[in-house]
Amino acid sequence: MRVYVAGNIVVDETWSVNELPQKGASIHGKKISLDIGGKGANQAIVISRCGIDTQLIAATGNDKSGQWIREQILREPLNLFPGEALSSHSDTSIIFNSSDGDNAIITTTDAADALLLDTVLAHLAGATTGDVLLQQGNFSAEKTRALFVWAKARGLITVFNPSPVNPDFASLWPLVDIAVLNQLEADLLKPAGVKTLVITQGAAGAWLINHDQRQFCPALSLQPVDTTGAGDTFLAVMLASALLRGVEPDRLALQHASAAAAITVSRTGTVNAFPTQDELAALLKTGSE
Protein backbone atom coordinates (compact mmCIF):
# COMPACT_ATOMS: atom_id res chain seq x y z
CA MET A 1 0.00 0.00 0.00
CA ARG A 2 1.33 3.38 -1.00
CA VAL A 3 0.16 6.95 -0.45
CA TYR A 4 0.52 9.42 -3.31
CA VAL A 5 0.31 13.06 -2.23
CA ALA A 6 -0.28 15.40 -5.18
CA GLY A 7 0.07 18.96 -3.97
CA ASN A 8 2.62 21.65 -3.26
CA ILE A 9 5.93 22.20 -1.53
CA VAL A 10 7.11 25.64 -0.49
CA VAL A 11 9.68 27.56 1.51
CA ASP A 12 8.10 28.68 4.79
CA GLU A 13 9.27 31.99 6.26
CA THR A 14 7.88 32.40 9.77
CA TRP A 15 7.62 35.83 11.40
CA SER A 16 6.72 36.59 15.00
CA VAL A 17 4.35 39.53 15.51
CA ASN A 18 2.45 40.83 18.51
CA GLU A 19 -0.86 40.81 16.64
CA LEU A 20 -1.89 39.71 13.16
CA PRO A 21 -1.85 42.73 10.80
CA GLN A 22 -5.06 44.49 9.88
CA LYS A 23 -5.76 45.94 6.44
CA GLY A 24 -3.50 48.94 5.81
CA ALA A 25 -1.39 48.33 8.93
CA SER A 26 2.41 48.55 9.16
CA ILE A 27 3.78 46.47 12.03
CA HIS A 28 7.09 45.29 13.47
CA GLY A 29 8.01 41.63 13.33
CA LYS A 30 10.92 39.25 13.76
CA LYS A 31 11.87 36.48 11.31
CA ILE A 32 12.21 33.36 13.43
CA SER A 33 12.58 30.41 11.05
CA LEU A 34 13.06 29.16 7.50
CA ASP A 35 11.62 25.74 6.78
CA ILE A 36 10.02 23.46 4.20
CA GLY A 37 6.25 23.84 4.11
CA GLY A 38 3.19 23.62 1.90
CA LYS A 39 0.19 21.48 2.78
CA GLY A 40 1.15 18.76 0.32
CA ALA A 41 4.70 18.49 1.63
CA ASN A 42 3.62 18.77 5.27
CA GLN A 43 1.14 15.93 5.02
CA ALA A 44 3.48 13.74 2.96
CA ILE A 45 6.36 14.19 5.42
CA VAL A 46 4.26 13.25 8.45
CA ILE A 47 2.67 10.26 6.69
CA SER A 48 6.11 9.00 5.66
CA ARG A 49 7.41 9.45 9.22
CA CYS A 50 4.58 7.13 10.30
CA GLY A 51 6.24 4.36 8.31
CA ILE A 52 4.06 4.40 5.19
CA ASP A 53 5.49 4.27 1.65
CA THR A 54 4.88 7.85 0.49
CA GLN A 55 5.34 9.56 -2.87
CA LEU A 56 5.11 13.37 -2.97
CA ILE A 57 4.28 14.83 -6.38
CA ALA A 58 5.01 18.55 -6.08
CA ALA A 59 6.85 21.16 -8.14
CA THR A 60 10.00 23.08 -7.25
CA GLY A 61 11.32 26.04 -9.23
CA ASN A 62 14.60 26.67 -11.00
CA ASP A 63 15.90 29.06 -8.33
CA LYS A 64 17.95 28.83 -5.13
CA SER A 65 14.82 28.14 -3.13
CA GLY A 66 14.02 25.13 -5.32
CA GLN A 67 17.54 23.76 -4.92
CA TRP A 68 17.31 24.22 -1.15
CA ILE A 69 13.92 22.44 -1.01
CA ARG A 70 15.23 19.45 -2.96
CA GLU A 71 18.25 19.19 -0.67
CA GLN A 72 16.14 19.37 2.49
CA ILE A 73 13.58 16.79 1.36
CA LEU A 74 16.36 14.20 1.00
CA ARG A 75 16.34 14.03 4.81
CA GLU A 76 12.80 12.64 4.82
CA PRO A 77 11.73 9.00 4.23
CA LEU A 78 9.78 9.77 1.04
CA ASN A 79 10.29 10.28 -2.70
CA LEU A 80 9.77 13.67 -4.36
CA PHE A 81 8.68 13.87 -8.00
CA PRO A 82 9.50 15.52 -10.35
CA GLY A 83 13.12 15.37 -9.25
CA GLU A 84 14.08 18.20 -11.57
CA ALA A 85 13.16 21.89 -11.36
CA LEU A 86 10.35 23.49 -13.36
CA SER A 87 10.74 26.79 -15.22
CA SER A 88 9.11 28.89 -12.52
CA HIS A 89 9.74 30.49 -9.16
CA SER A 90 9.52 28.12 -6.21
CA ASP A 91 6.47 28.67 -4.08
CA THR A 92 6.80 30.55 -0.79
CA SER A 93 4.64 30.94 2.30
CA ILE A 94 4.92 33.92 4.65
CA ILE A 95 3.61 32.91 8.07
CA PHE A 96 2.72 35.45 10.76
CA ASN A 97 2.62 34.03 14.29
CA SER A 98 0.94 36.22 16.88
CA SER A 99 1.74 36.25 20.59
CA ASP A 100 -1.41 34.23 21.39
CA GLY A 101 -0.22 31.34 19.18
CA ASP A 102 -2.54 32.08 16.24
CA ASN A 103 -1.29 32.52 12.67
CA ALA A 104 -2.05 33.91 9.22
CA ILE A 105 -0.42 32.63 6.01
CA ILE A 106 0.21 34.05 2.53
CA THR A 107 1.18 31.43 -0.09
CA THR A 108 2.23 31.66 -3.75
CA THR A 109 1.20 29.00 -6.30
CA ASP A 110 3.51 29.67 -9.29
CA ALA A 111 5.23 26.27 -9.14
CA ALA A 112 2.04 24.36 -8.27
CA ASP A 113 0.26 25.97 -11.23
CA ALA A 114 3.16 25.05 -13.54
CA LEU A 115 2.89 21.35 -12.65
CA LEU A 116 0.98 19.93 -15.62
CA LEU A 117 -1.71 17.30 -15.23
CA ASP A 118 0.14 14.94 -17.59
CA THR A 119 3.25 15.24 -15.41
CA VAL A 120 1.31 14.31 -12.28
CA LEU A 121 -0.34 11.37 -14.04
CA ALA A 122 3.05 10.12 -15.26
CA HIS A 123 4.23 9.92 -11.65
CA LEU A 124 1.01 8.14 -10.62
CA ALA A 125 1.47 5.45 -13.26
CA GLY A 126 2.63 2.85 -10.71
CA ALA A 127 -0.44 3.24 -8.47
CA THR A 128 -2.61 0.15 -7.97
CA THR A 129 -5.94 -0.72 -6.39
CA GLY A 130 -5.93 0.06 -2.67
CA ASP A 131 -3.30 2.78 -2.89
CA VAL A 132 -4.25 6.29 -1.74
CA LEU A 133 -4.38 9.60 -3.61
CA LEU A 134 -4.36 12.58 -1.24
CA GLN A 135 -4.95 16.12 -2.54
CA GLN A 136 -5.29 19.54 -0.96
CA GLY A 137 -6.61 22.81 -2.41
CA ASN A 138 -3.45 24.00 -4.15
CA PHE A 139 -4.47 22.86 -7.65
CA SER A 140 -7.28 24.24 -9.77
CA ALA A 141 -10.67 22.56 -9.45
CA GLU A 142 -10.23 21.16 -12.98
CA LYS A 143 -6.86 19.55 -12.24
CA THR A 144 -8.07 18.26 -8.87
CA ARG A 145 -11.15 16.71 -10.50
CA ALA A 146 -9.15 15.07 -13.28
CA LEU A 147 -6.80 13.43 -10.78
CA PHE A 148 -9.65 12.11 -8.64
CA VAL A 149 -11.48 10.76 -11.71
CA TRP A 150 -8.28 8.96 -12.76
CA ALA A 151 -7.81 7.57 -9.23
CA LYS A 152 -11.38 6.34 -8.81
CA ALA A 153 -11.25 4.56 -12.17
CA ARG A 154 -8.26 2.57 -10.91
CA GLY A 155 -9.59 1.66 -7.49
CA LEU A 156 -7.56 4.10 -5.41
CA ILE A 157 -8.79 5.51 -2.11
CA THR A 158 -9.32 9.27 -2.57
CA VAL A 159 -8.67 11.71 0.27
CA PHE A 160 -9.38 15.45 0.03
CA ASN A 161 -8.37 18.36 2.26
CA PRO A 162 -9.83 21.35 0.33
CA SER A 163 -7.55 24.03 1.75
CA PRO A 164 -6.98 26.70 0.50
CA VAL A 165 -10.70 26.57 -0.16
CA ASN A 166 -12.22 27.08 -3.62
CA PRO A 167 -16.03 27.22 -4.04
CA ASP A 168 -15.72 25.05 -7.17
CA PHE A 169 -14.52 22.16 -5.01
CA ALA A 170 -18.14 21.64 -3.91
CA SER A 171 -18.77 19.57 -7.05
CA LEU A 172 -16.05 17.03 -6.23
CA TRP A 173 -17.66 15.16 -3.31
CA PRO A 174 -18.91 12.16 -5.38
CA LEU A 175 -15.22 11.45 -6.16
CA VAL A 176 -14.01 11.58 -2.54
CA ASP A 177 -13.83 8.70 -0.04
CA ILE A 178 -12.36 10.59 2.93
CA ALA A 179 -12.60 14.36 3.46
CA VAL A 180 -11.06 16.54 6.16
CA LEU A 181 -12.29 20.14 6.47
CA ASN A 182 -12.50 22.84 9.08
CA GLN A 183 -15.89 24.28 9.99
CA LEU A 184 -15.62 27.30 7.67
CA GLU A 185 -14.72 25.06 4.72
CA ALA A 186 -17.58 22.69 5.57
CA ASP A 187 -20.07 25.58 5.72
CA LEU A 188 -18.96 26.82 2.29
CA LEU A 189 -18.56 23.49 0.47
CA LYS A 190 -21.34 21.50 2.18
CA PRO A 191 -19.75 18.05 1.84
CA ALA A 192 -22.30 15.33 1.13
CA GLY A 193 -22.02 11.72 0.08
CA VAL A 194 -18.49 11.27 1.44
CA LYS A 195 -18.01 7.90 3.16
CA THR A 196 -15.84 9.36 5.95
CA LEU A 197 -16.01 13.03 6.85
CA VAL A 198 -13.92 14.78 9.51
CA ILE A 199 -14.79 18.36 10.44
CA THR A 200 -12.15 19.94 12.65
CA GLN A 201 -13.09 22.46 15.34
CA GLY A 202 -9.68 23.93 16.11
CA ALA A 203 -8.52 23.53 19.70
CA ALA A 204 -11.86 21.95 20.68
CA GLY A 205 -11.45 18.75 18.66
CA ALA A 206 -13.13 17.23 15.60
CA TRP A 207 -16.35 15.59 14.45
CA LEU A 208 -16.07 12.16 12.84
CA ILE A 209 -19.00 11.37 10.54
CA ASN A 210 -18.80 7.83 9.22
CA HIS A 211 -21.72 6.07 7.50
CA ASP A 212 -24.10 8.69 9.00
CA GLN A 213 -22.82 7.99 12.51
CA ARG A 214 -21.50 11.10 14.29
CA GLN A 215 -19.10 11.28 17.22
CA PHE A 216 -17.09 14.14 18.67
CA CYS A 217 -13.44 13.57 19.56
CA PRO A 218 -12.03 16.24 21.90
CA ALA A 219 -8.55 17.63 21.34
CA LEU A 220 -5.87 17.57 24.03
CA SER A 221 -5.94 20.72 26.14
CA LEU A 222 -2.71 22.73 26.11
CA GLN A 223 -1.30 26.22 25.53
CA PRO A 224 0.00 26.36 21.92
CA VAL A 225 3.36 27.86 21.02
CA ASP A 226 2.83 27.84 17.23
CA THR A 227 -0.19 26.36 15.43
CA THR A 228 1.50 26.21 12.01
CA GLY A 229 1.16 22.73 10.50
CA ALA A 230 -1.13 21.39 13.24
CA GLY A 231 -3.96 20.64 10.84
CA ASP A 232 -1.62 18.88 8.42
CA THR A 233 -0.19 16.78 11.25
CA PHE A 234 -3.71 15.88 12.37
CA LEU A 235 -4.82 14.73 8.91
CA ALA A 236 -1.63 12.81 8.19
CA VAL A 237 -1.59 10.87 11.45
CA MET A 238 -5.34 10.19 11.32
CA LEU A 239 -4.92 8.71 7.84
CA ALA A 240 -1.76 6.79 8.73
CA SER A 241 -3.32 5.34 11.89
CA ALA A 242 -6.29 3.99 9.94
CA LEU A 243 -4.19 2.65 7.05
CA LEU A 244 -1.70 0.90 9.30
CA ARG A 245 -4.55 -0.86 11.12
CA GLY A 246 -6.47 -1.63 7.90
CA VAL A 247 -9.62 0.21 9.00
CA GLU A 248 -11.58 3.29 8.04
CA PRO A 249 -10.75 6.42 10.07
CA ASP A 250 -12.15 5.82 13.56
CA ARG A 251 -12.08 7.33 17.03
CA LEU A 252 -8.63 5.89 17.78
CA ALA A 253 -7.28 7.41 14.56
CA LEU A 254 -8.52 10.82 15.68
CA GLN A 255 -7.03 10.31 19.15
CA HIS A 256 -3.66 9.50 17.57
CA ALA A 257 -4.04 12.56 15.34
CA SER A 258 -4.86 14.84 18.26
CA ALA A 259 -1.83 13.64 20.24
CA ALA A 260 0.45 14.23 17.25
CA ALA A 261 -0.98 17.71 16.61
CA ALA A 262 -0.36 18.54 20.27
CA ILE A 263 3.34 17.81 19.74
CA THR A 264 3.42 20.07 16.67
CA VAL A 265 1.80 23.07 18.38
CA SER A 266 4.24 22.80 21.30
CA ARG A 267 7.14 23.72 18.98
CA THR A 268 8.07 26.55 16.62
CA GLY A 269 8.33 26.08 12.86
CA THR A 270 6.83 23.73 10.30
CA VAL A 271 8.75 20.52 9.50
CA ASN A 272 10.99 21.20 12.51
CA ALA A 273 7.90 21.09 14.72
CA PHE A 274 6.48 17.81 13.41
CA PRO A 275 6.75 14.67 15.54
CA THR A 276 9.80 12.56 14.77
CA GLN A 277 9.65 9.01 13.43
CA ASP A 278 10.34 7.64 16.92
CA GLU A 279 7.67 9.84 18.51
CA LEU A 280 5.11 8.75 15.92
CA ALA A 281 6.00 5.08 16.25
CA ALA A 282 5.41 5.24 20.00
CA LEU A 283 2.24 7.29 19.65
CA LEU A 284 0.68 4.96 17.05
CA LYS A 285 1.13 1.98 19.39
CA THR A 286 -1.11 3.52 22.07
CA GLY A 287 -4.55 1.95 22.19
CA SER A 288 -3.67 -0.51 19.41
CA GLU A 289 -2.40 -3.44 21.47
Q: In this predicted structure, what is the pLDDT of residue 199? A: 97
The pLDDT of residue 205 is: 94
Whether 68 and 36 have beta carbons less than 8 Å apart is answered as: no
Query: For residue 198, how many C-alpha atoms fall within 13 Å in the half-sphere facing its CB?
Result: 29
How many Cα neighbours within 13 Å face the side chain of 243?
27
pLDDT tens, residue by residue, 21-78: 888 989 999 998 889 999 999 999 999 999 999 999 999 999 999 999 999 999 999 9
Question: The dihedral of CA 186, 189, 192, 196: what is its sign?
Answer: negative
Residue 225 — very low, low, confident or very high, per pLDDT cuts 50/70/90?
confident
Question: What is the pLDDT at residue 173?
Answer: 98
User: What's residue 212's pLDDT?
Assistant: 79
Instruction: Give long-range contacts, CB 8 A cutoff, 24+ apart: 100-104.
Output: 101/223, 101/224, 101/225, 101/226, 101/227, 101/265, 102/20, 102/227, 103/20, 103/226, 103/227, 103/228, 104/20, 104/21
Report the distance separating Cα 89 and Cα 65, nearest Å: 8
Q: What percent of the chain has pLDDT over 90?
A: 79
Average pLDDT of span 178-192: 96
| pLDDT score recorded for residue 93 | 86
pLDDT reported for residue 8? 95
Give the per-residue pLDDT at 288: 66
List 160's β-bridge partners, or say none: 135, 179
When pLDDT is cut at 50, 70 and 90, the band that residue 139 belongs to is very high
pTM greater than 0.85 (yes/no):
yes
Residue type at 60? T
Per-residue pLDDT band for 160 (boundaries 50, 70, 90) equals: very high
Query: What average pLDDT does range 222-241 have in this prediction?
Result: 92
> For the residues 123-137, what does the mean pLDDT come to?
97
- What three-state secondary structure class fits 86? strand
Residue 184 has pLDDT above 60, yes or no: yes
pLDDT at 289 > cutoff 60: no
Judged against a pLDDT cut of 60, whether residue 1 lies above it is answered with yes
Quote the pLDDT of residue 12: 87
Tens digit of pLDDT for each residue in 161-176? 999 999 999 999 999 9
- % pLDDT > 70, the chain: 99
The 10s digit of each residue's pLDDT in 93-120 is 888 888 887 778 888 889 999 999 999 9
